[in-house]
């Protein structure tokens, strides 16, 4: 099912992101979570990709199992840095044969070498080059990453939105945001997007926090601001896993409430391969209606 068309025609959406697990136990846990979220009928589910081709096979494997075992509409992420045009075309041909209709087209980052430094860039592309390649293959609905706070390498927000527009103009049907916790940053991004003529659906990514310490590190790495007010909600004493999950769910519900009040209708949840927090948020917020009928 073509995600771009679904978003436009339905005007609302619920979707989930998973990542390829490292081992057999991780895969068992992932598919338990997948099966337990199936009843929510998401518009699509996405599966992340290791940049530079590292876990390409793992992404393909998870997507293949999703197609075989579930009713989900899958969207593999695909990064282009350090991959040749021929390799990328081969992956797209394979996805076409598998019946995949959607791709999230990304540049990615160079993988880390054994010395802890980024490996040399062998194939320098931007996401817009991959969008052009996927569009030329025909038959895929194309998503791209968008950054409410700007991408870490971009010198300023004005340039960031113009580069974003460039990749959309190459044929992207929809954008998926980087996670964010301060909705005002997202509203300001939408203002900039409108100003430069971006009018494709923008899907907002929500990250339920389960471990605030780890989330602070993760946010630093991907350039997302975790407001002090969010961190303070977890207090300064060690919490049980259940209490931490409860606070993370409360925070996400507050964020979603405000987004809904401001007219947002496309919600993408980072599951971290678990169903508990996401299922609780959807139940509390009565978001089942955002999924497919
Ligand atoms: P681009 O859009 O190409 O942007 C990269 C940088 O180049 C930006 O700073 C941009 O401003 C700049 N730029 C763009 N065009 C130009 C130009 N013409 N001249 C100069 N500068 C330019 N990573 C993974 O490895 N695997 C994943 O599965 C994955 N999934 C993601 C999903 C989402 C929703 C998001 C938001 C990010 C994801 N990422 C993933 C991370 C992403 O790969 C990195 O953030 C990466 O650094 C940028 O990718 P991009 O597609 O946004 O690149």
Over the stretch 79-116, which tens digit does the pLDDT of each residue have? 999 899 999 999 999 999 999 999 999 999 887 888 88
Domains of the chain: 3-285 (3.20.20.220)
The residue whose CA has the least distance to atom 43 of ligand 1 is 108
Structure letter (DSSP) for residue 119: P
pLDDT the model gives residue 53? 52
Is 17 known to be catalytic? Answer: yes
pLDDT the model gives residue 116? 81
The residue whose CA has the least distance to atom 22 of ligand 1 is 163
Question: Full-prediction pTM beyond 0.75?
Answer: yes
Any atom of ligand 1 within 6 Å of the Cβ of 151: yes
Any atom of ligand 1 within 6 Å of the Cβ of 49: yes
Any atom of ligand 1 within 6 Å of the Cβ of 169: no
pLDDT the model gives residue 61? 96
pLDDT the model gives residue 56? 81
Separation of 145 CA from ligand 1 center, angstroms? 7
Selecting among 5, 17, 93, 158, the annotated active-site residue is 17
Rounded distance between C-alpha atoms, residue 212 and residue 234, angstroms: 7
pLDDT the model gives residue 52? 54
Any atom of ligand 1 within 6 Å of the Cβ of 62: no
Cβ(205)–Cβ(270) below 8 Å = yes
Separation of 282 CA from ligand 1 center, angstroms? 29
pLDDT the model gives residue 121? 77
SS3 of 261, please? helix
If one residue of 44, 107, 153 were mutated to test the ligand 1 pocket, choosing by the most ligand atoms within 8 A of its CB, it would be 107
**Which atom belonging to ligand 1 lies closest to the Cα atom of 166?**
15
Any atom of ligand 1 within 6 Å of the Cβ of 218: no
Any atom of ligand 1 within 6 Å of the Cβ of 153: yes
Cβ(266)–Cβ(201) below 8 Å = yes
Beta strands in the chain (DSSP E): 13-18, 44-47, 74-79, 102-106, 141-146, 174-177, 202-206, 266-270
Low-confidence ranges of the chain (pLDDT < 50): none
């Amino acid at each position: 099912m073509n995600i771009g068309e679904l978003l436009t025609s339905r005007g609302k959406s619920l979707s989930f992101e998973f990542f390829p697990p490292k081992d057999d136990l991780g895969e068992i846990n992932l598919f338990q979570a997948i099966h337990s979220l199936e009843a929510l009928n998401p518009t699509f589910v996405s599966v992340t990709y290791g940049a530079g081709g590292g876990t390409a096979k793992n992404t393909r494997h998870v997507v293949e199992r999703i197609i075989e075992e579930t009713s989900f509409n899958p969207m593999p992420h695909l990064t282009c840095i350090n991959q040749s045009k021929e390799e990328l075309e081969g992956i797209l041909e394979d996805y076409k044969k598998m019946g995949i209709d959607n791709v999230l087209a990304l540049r990615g980052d160079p993988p880390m070498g054994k010395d802890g430094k980024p490996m040399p860039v062998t194939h320098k592309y931007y996401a817009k080059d991959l969008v052009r390649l996927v569009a030329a293959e025909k038959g895929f609905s194309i998503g791209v990453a968008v950054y409410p706070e700007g991408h870490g390498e971009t010198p300023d927000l004005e340039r960031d939105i113009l580069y974003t527009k460039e990749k959309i103009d190459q044929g992207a049907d929809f954008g998926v945001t980087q996670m964010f916790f301060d909705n005002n940053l997202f509203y300001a991004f939408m203002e900039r997007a409108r100003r430069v003529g971006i009018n494709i659906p923008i899907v907002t990514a929500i990250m339920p926090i389960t471990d605030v310490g780890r989330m602070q590190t993760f946010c630093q790495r991907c350039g997302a601001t975790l407001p002090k007010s969010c961190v303070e909600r977890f207090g300064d004493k060690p919490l049980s896993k259940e209490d931490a999950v409860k606070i993370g769910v409360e925070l996400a519900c507050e964020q979603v409430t405000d987004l809904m009040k401001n007219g947002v209708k496309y919600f993408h949840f980072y599951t971290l391969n678990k169903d508990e927090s996401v299922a609780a948020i959807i139940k509390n917020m009565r978001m089942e209606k955002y999924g497919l009928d």
